[in-house]
Structure 1
C-alpha cells in the first residue's frame, strides 16, 4: 500500500509523528512524504520514507502561490498514485484535501490547531473557513487534538465528516523519560520552548520575566526556539540585561527540560501543546495559559498552574505562586504530570487511532495492507 503524507515542515513530522511513520513502514507500506526541504529531511529519509520536495509558504497568503501548491499536489498524487493521503496543518489540509477530492484519493486530515487565521474574526477567517469546507468535504476522517477545536468546526458547519478526538500528537514517554527533580532549589529555572512569535505569548513572557527577576533575583528564564517573527533585538536586550538566557534553536530539548524546575507556555492558542506533554512526561510541572490545547494537559494545582491568556498580571501571579511553593510540592507536581502523560497522552494512543482508521479505508477499498 502506498501512503503519502503532506506537511509544511520536517521538524513537526519527525519529532511528533516519527513513531507513526516507523509503524507504517514496519508494516511494509511504501511511505512518501511531501514538504519543503529542511534539515529534518535526511532524518525522515533514514527512517525509510521516500521524499518529494514541495515548496510551501507556511504563513504566506499569496493566492497565486497557494493555487500553485494545489496544482503541484494534484501532479504529485497523479504521479505517485497513493492509496491513502494523510495531511497535517492548514495548507496541506486545505489544498492537499482538495487535490485528493479532484483525484478521488482517500485522505485523513489532522487539525493540529485553529491557527491565527481562524482564531481572529476577520475576512481571513471567513476565507479560511470556506477553504476548509471545500478541502475537507470528502475526508474519510478528521482528527482533532482538542474538544474546543472540534466544536468550533461543528458550530461553524465547516464539516459534517466523521471526526475523532486524539490526545494531540501524544508523547513518547520512553524518549521523554522521567527525570529526578533538580536537587538545587536555590535558583529556580523556568523554561520556555517554542518559536519566538506573538501567538506563543512571548510578549507577555518578556514582561513577566522582567517583573519576576527584579523581585526574585534567584530565578532564571531559559528560552529555547528559533525566530518566527522579528524578536532578535528584543531578545538580545533582555539577555544583556540578565533577564533571560536565550539558547536559540536546539535539537535536544530534553536536556533543557531536565535542568528546569518548570516549563512556562503563555500561548494564545494551540492544538495540543507538545512542549507541555514532553515537559510533564519528564516530570516537570507546567505553567500554561488556560486556552484549549494547553489547559487539558495539566490538572490545576496538581501537575501544573494555569493563568489567563494575554494577561501579564495573571502570568506573574502564577510564577510567584510556584516560586513560593514548598520544594516537595513542586516535586510531587512533576510526578503527577508524568502519571497523567502515561495514562492519557501516550503516543501509542494516537498511532492506534491512525491504524484503526487506515484499516477501515483498506477494508472499504479492498486494498491490501502489506
Structure 2
C-alpha cells in the first residue's frame, strides 16, 4: 500500500471538510495525519488514519518555533517515507512543503485562503511570499480555492502546476435541502468565530437597527467568541437584540429555523464553508463582495452582496430581504441549493485529489 501523509494545523478543519477525501484515500492507502491532538482526532483515527501528534502555533511568528516545526516535519517524513504529502493552511503549506521538497517527496498544497499576512502589505507579506516561493516551487500541484487567490499568488511567485477547485465543496447529503420556515418571525444567522474581521460589528449594528424597526425578527450568533466581544454579546442578548448560542458542533438545527444566513466577513477567505452549507440547506445568503464569498452568490437570485465594513449597506440589504414575499425567499433558497449542486459538490474536490494522486503514481 502507498503511504500518504496529510499535514494540517488542526483536526476540526481536516475532519469537517476533508473527511470524504480521507475515506476514499484509506481504501487503498496507508494514511497518516500530522496535526495537534484535538477533540475530533479520535474520529480521524476511526476513519483509519494514523496520528502523528504535531504541535503547531497557528498564529505565532517566532522564527525558532517555526524552525523546530520544519525540523519536526523533516523527521516525520524521514520516518514514514510517504509516497505523497498533502498540506493544508499556511504553516503546513510552507514548512511541510519545504520539508517535502528537501526530502525529495512529491507534495500537493492547498491554499485555503491567503490570510492577513499576505493580504496586508508590509514586511510580513514579503516574508510570507518568500517562504511560499521556496516551499511551493516544486509542488506537484497547488490547489486554489478561489480565482483571486490563484491570480495573486501565481503573479508573485513561480508555481509549476496549479488548479482551481470549488473550495472544500459541501457534502450535499449531510447538508440536505430543508423545508423553508413558514412563520411570522424572520430568523437570521451569523455563523463564525466572533471576531472583528468576520464582520461581527456590522452584524451587531444591523441587528440593533433592524430589531428596533422590525420587532418580528431574531438575530442569532453562533461561534467561539473572542474576549473582546464577550461583554458586548451578553449585553445585547440581555437587551433582547440577539441570541448568542456559543460554539456549536452541529449548526443544522439552526438552519432549520433560519430564513437567511448573514456573513459580513472581510477576512481573507478561501471559500466560505458557512455560505456553502447555508446554500446547500436552501437558505438565502447575504455576504460581502470579496473573493471566497461572491462566488457563491448570484445577486438577487440566491442572496445579496454588500460592501465590506459597511453597516448601512448591510441594513439596506436586510430590509430588501424582509420586503420579499415568502415564496420569493423560498425560491432564493432553492436557487442556492441548485447552485451548490452544480458548482460546489464536495465530490468535485475529492475527484480532483484522487485523479492528481493517480497521475503522480503513474510517473
What is the match of residue 17 of structure 2?
16
Aligned twin of 2:331: 332
2:83 and 2:105 in contact (8 A); partners too? yes
Unaligned regions of 5+ residues in structure 2, if any? none
In the TM superposition, 1:99-178 aligns within 5 A as 99-156=99-156, 158-178=157-177
Partner-residue secondary structure (3-state), 1:33 = strand
**For the Cα contact (< 8 Å) 2:142–2:159, is it kept in 1?**
no
Q: SS where residue 209 of structure 2 aligns?
A: helix
Within a 5 Å distance, the mapping from 1:51-62 to structure 2 comes to 51-62=51-62
Alpha-carbon distance, 1:304 to partner: 0.9
Distance in 2 separating the partners of 1:44 and 1:238: 38
Asked if structure 2 preserves the Cα contact closer than 8 Å seen for 1:197 and 1:229, the reply is no
- Normalising by structure 1, we get a TM-score of 0.96
The secondary structure found in structure 1 opposite 2:187 is: strand
Tell me the SS of whatever aligns to 1:231: helix
For residues 198 and 261 of structure 2, what CA distance do their matches in structure 1 show?
A: 13
TM (norm. structure 2) is 0.98
For the residue of structure 2 that corresponds to 1:32, the secondary structure is strand
Contact preservation (8 Å) 1:170, 1:350:
yes
CA displacement 1:151-192 (0-9 Å, x = unmatched): 101222x232201000000000011000010011x1110001
SS of 2:158's equivalent in the other structure is: coil
Q: 4+ runs of 1 displaced by more than 6 Å?
A: none
SS at match of 1:86: strand
60-69 or 337-346: bigger deviation: 60-69
Distance in 2, matches of 1:217 and 1:75, equals 60
Indicate the SS of the match to 1:38. coil
Give, in whole Å, the separation in 2 of the partners of 1:296 and 1:229: 32
3-state DSSP of counterpart to 2:105: coil
**In structure 2, what is the Cα distance between the partners aligned to 1:5 and 1:197?**
29
Give me the whole-angstrom Cα distance separating, in 2, the residues matched to 1:38 and 1:334: 35
2:212 matched residue in structure 1: 214
Residue 120 of structure 1: how far off its partner (Å): 1.1
Alignment of 1:350-369 (within 5 A): 350-364=349-363
The question of whether the paired residues in 2 share the 8 Å contact of 1:14 and 1:40 is answered with yes
Quote the residue 2:197 is aligned against.
199
- Does structure 1 residue 4 correspond to structure 2 residue 5? yes
CA shift for structure 1 position 231: 2.0
Q: Structure 1 residue 229: deviation in Å?
A: 5.5
- Equivalent-residue separation in structure 1 for 2:254 and 2:94 (angstroms): 36
1:368 corresponds to:
none
Which sections of structure 1, spanning at least 5 residues, go unmatched?
A: 365-370
Aligned residues: 361
In 1: Cα distance, 2:61 partner to 2:168 partner? 26
Whole-angstrom distance in 1 between the partners of 2:234 and 2:10:
27
Q: Deviations over 1:56-110 (max 9, x none)?
A: 1111111111111111111111111111000000000000000001111100000
Query: Hey, what does 2:256 align to over in structure 1?
Result: 258
SS in 2 for 1:192: strand
Q: After TM superposition, give the deviation of residue 228 of structure 1 in Å.
A: 4.7
Match of 1:367 in 2: none
Please give the secondary structure, in 1, of the residue aligned with 2:219: strand
Partner SS for 2:348 = helix
Moved more, 351-360 or 213-222: 213-222
